[in-house]
Structure 1
Amino acid sequence: MQNEILEKGPLLTEEGSLTNPGWARDLILDYKRSAIRANKFRIKEWDYYCIINHETKKAIALTIADNSYMGLLSATYLDLNKPMQVTKTKIKALTNGNYNMPETSKSGNISVTQDGLYISFEKDNTSRILKVDCPYFHKGFNLKGEITLHQPDAMDTMVIATPFNKDKKAFYYNHKINCMDASGELYFGDEKVLFERKNSFGVLDWGRGVWTYSNTWYWGSASGSISNIPFGFNIGYGFGDNNKATENVVFYDNKAHKLADVKFHIPEDDYLKPWKFTSSDNRFEMDFQPIIDRNSNTNILVLKSLQHQIFGLFTGRVVLDNGEEIQVKNFLGFAEKVVNKW
């Protein structure tokens, strides 16, 4: 069942459960942190951006997260030609909402500095401005720059309100905005890294919710253009109970085309071996050739996180709502498997 949310209203009931589990093309349910009735240390709020230049194959990913018991800043620079990736992460204990994450993805600014890493996300009427400044980012090299993401007015996105079976007061409210073209520049040491609107595209992963302790999720995303028409997709599962809706959507010419279930077929012995993706409705069939594994393994007492975010090339086909078939070849994006106890 794919319950599409069409009416505005509050995200949560007075008891703290979801009013209307399902998916939407825009953020039309109102999230309020004050409406949460669960343990405050279970609240997790984050903004994650990833921007890829399809021509130079260079990318940047930035995260600001307030997971209540800790805050997290993270910056990743990738050069998929070499390939190489560098990630700098800073953690602060017991932030508990002090980052003041915006309660909507449509407005509000965030600016945080932690141990020399500065990240800022600003939102105006038509764009999102991302800034990063990190001295001594890698081997004495600094990372500094500013990128603007441009978002058309008439643009479908992916929103999902997902419950958890184990806890009625747990939920995940997620907004994914694909296919925003990007402009700006970074400096990685003395190297100038350009992002131009004709070849650079970004995605926002805006997440707010109350999570259960143990989860395994799968997520894949790509944003770009095919024959100068905006094209991208969001696929995934494991983010709670998906009986009311999946988060699987193809975006073509700024319109969303809803998919049923998508399955990740990941080699058991090596994340850098080729993957496959299949769908229950036969509308999303992809091969995936990995380039680099951005992985991390955190194990601190009761907190554990094993992450494999793989950047690579998608090749295959998707079928739109009207039956039109789009061929995809060597399309840059990423897919990940994350196991959390948090």
Structure 2
Amino acid sequence: MTTDEREITAPVDLCRADGRLEPEAVGWSRRPLHRSRIPGWGRTKRWEYWCVTTPTHLVALTVSDLDFLALNTVYVLEFGPDGREFERTAIVPGGPGTALPDAVAGAPGCAPVVVGPERPVRGQVRVEIRSEGTGTRLRARCLAPDDRLPVEVDLLVGMDEGHETLSVVVPWSERRFQYTSKQTARPASGTVRIGSRVLEFGDDAWGTLDHGRGRWPRSVEWNWGAASGRTDGRTVGLQFGGRWTRGTGSTENALCVDGRLSKIGEELEWDWSPEDHLAPWRVRTPDGDAVDLVFTPFHNRSVRTEAVLLANRTDQCFGHWSGTVRTDDGERIGVDGLLGWAEDVRMRW
């Protein structure tokens, strides 16, 4: 094993009845096992973020409840100089109509999540997350911001039997903590329609989930990197985090190779230019060879928000990962142009 963190193997409550972190919840697991009911109100953040990629385009869907408001988003990016990019975000003050479950939305046995009107108009957004077989059905509707063309997302993200994912609790204190389930290398299929145009998601489409439930500090900074696909004859998922976990004793770092998870307990070393996010990034384990990768971006999704209760500076760069990783059993895997992203975020919320 490449971590001293405690592996959780049985269901556990995230919180005590008074909303404090349950000490037995601190650790990580290979599948979601935490019951993440968080009683009370204030500083609680809940979200489901899905990004489904292909070699030529991607779509990302977000449903989030920040206690004082909800943010529901559809983002589409077509790669290349003539590719289309747009984002439609519905801001819902107070968050009425956004009810996220304690479990991972879209997991078998979990009630569907549906937000927004069935036929959205103007800046409204509709998102549906439902269990379908062993996978997750993602549907969304909105109007494209520039030309108001109707946008329809209909994707199925599969989950192969025995496929392992990373779930982990990051404890800042007994009153501030985050439970996240990061799921990479899940095969996807379906379409995104923009007016009469259809973007296909076929054999080379991959879904990544960021599921979050927690109580956060007012201000925080983080790095997040992820990628999914086939490389060196293997199916590989990369999941890396940085900055926000420092000093907690937990990390959100892991590899998934052919469905088997290797947990990395070491904090990664992130080297990038905040002045030029499109310059190459390097991510590595400073005291070993579990991760030694270069990320080469080709597009920066830059978001700047300044509001009374919310300030967000996000640079989410899409690009390709190359280098080597090493699994728990010592096998070195060559990573050659694996499509994914790396981001630099500062949040006040």
Q: Does the 8 Å contact 2:232/2:336 carry over to 1?
A: no
The 3 A distance-change label for structure 1 pair 241 and 164 is: farther
Greater alpha carbon shift after TM alignment, 181-190 vs 306-315? 181-190
CA distance in 1 between counterparts of 2:52 and 2:247 reads 28
Indicate whether 1:235 and 2:240 are aligned: yes
Q: Please tell me the residue identity of whatever aligns with 2:112.
A: N
Structure having the larger proportion of residues in strand: 1
Q: Find the counterpart in structure 1 of residue 120 from structure 2.
A: none
CA distance in 2 between counterparts of 1:71 and 1:88 reads 14
Q: Find the counterpart in structure 1 of residue 88 from structure 2.
A: 88
Q: Please tell me the residue identity of whatever aligns with 2:285.
A: S
Q: Please tell me the residue identity of whatever aligns with 2:23.
A: T
- Please point out which of 314, 330, 341 is paired with 2:337: 330
Q: Find the counterpart in structure 1 of residue 44 from structure 2.
A: 43
Q: Please tell me the residue identity of whatever aligns with 2:22.
A: L
CA distance in 1 between counterparts of 2:152 and 2:16 reads 43
Q: Please tell me the residue identity of whatever aligns with 2:8.
A: I
Q: Find the counterpart in structure 2 of residue 129 from structure 1.
A: 137
Q: Find the counterpart in structure 2 of residue 251 from structure 1.
A: 256
Q: Which consecutive residues of structure 2, in runs of 5 or more, have no partner in the other structure? A: 118-122
SS class of match (1:244): coil
The 3 A distance-change label for structure 1 pair 134 and 267 is: same
Q: Please tell me the residue identity of whatever aligns with 2:303.
A: S
Q: Please tell me the residue identity of whatever aligns with 1:5.
A: I
Cα deviation digits, residues 241-262 of structure 1 (max 9, x gap)? 5543211101001000122221
Q: Please tell me the residue identity of whatever aligns with 1:153.
A: E
Q: Please tell me the residue identity of whatever aligns with 1:13.
A: R
Q: Does the 8 Å contact 1:130/1:147 carry over to 2?
A: yes
TM-superposed CA distance for 1:43, in Å, is: 1.0
TM-superposed CA distance for 1:228, in Å, is: 5.4
Indicate whether 1:112 and 2:119 are aligned: no
Greater alpha carbon shift after TM alignment, 6-15 vs 148-157? 6-15
Cα deviation digits, residues 78-99 of structure 1 (max 9, x gap)? 1122355211111010127x41
Q: Does the 8 Å contact 2:48/2:63 carry over to 1?
A: yes
The 3 A distance-change label for structure 1 pair 131 and 242 is: farther
CA distance in 1 between counterparts of 2:193 and 2:33 reads 37
CA distance in 2 between counterparts of 1:41 and 1:257 reads 35
Indicate whether 1:192 and 2:195 are aligned: no
- Please point out which of 7, 10, 23 is paired with 1:4: 7
Q: Does the 8 Å contact 2:269/2:284 carry over to 1?
A: yes
Q: Does the 8 Å contact 2:171/2:250 carry over to 1?
A: no
Q: Find the counterpart in structure 1 of residue 54 from structure 2.
A: 53
- TM (normalized to structure 2)? 0.90
Q: Does the 8 Å contact 1:18/1:161 carry over to 2?
A: no
Cα deviation digits, residues 205-251 of structure 1 (max 9, x gap)? 11011111010011001111225532111000233455432111010
Q: Does the 8 Å contact 2:169/2:179 carry over to 1?
A: yes
Q: Find the counterpart in structure 2 of residue 28 from structure 1.
A: 33
CA distance in 2 between counterparts of 1:257 and 1:186 reads 33
Q: Does the 8 Å contact 1:317/1:325 carry over to 2?
A: yes
CA distance in 2 between counterparts of 1:246 and 1:231 reads 19
Q: Find the counterpart in structure 1 of residue 23 from structure 2.
A: 19
What number of residue pairs does the alignment pair up? 332
The 3 A distance-change label for structure 1 pair 302 and 100 is: closer
CA distance in 2 between counterparts of 1:86 and 1:248 reads 30
Greater alpha carbon shift after TM alignment, 321-330 vs 248-257? 321-330
Greater alpha carbon shift after TM alignment, 287-296 vs 120-129? 120-129
Q: Does the 8 Å contact 1:53/1:195 carry over to 2?
A: yes
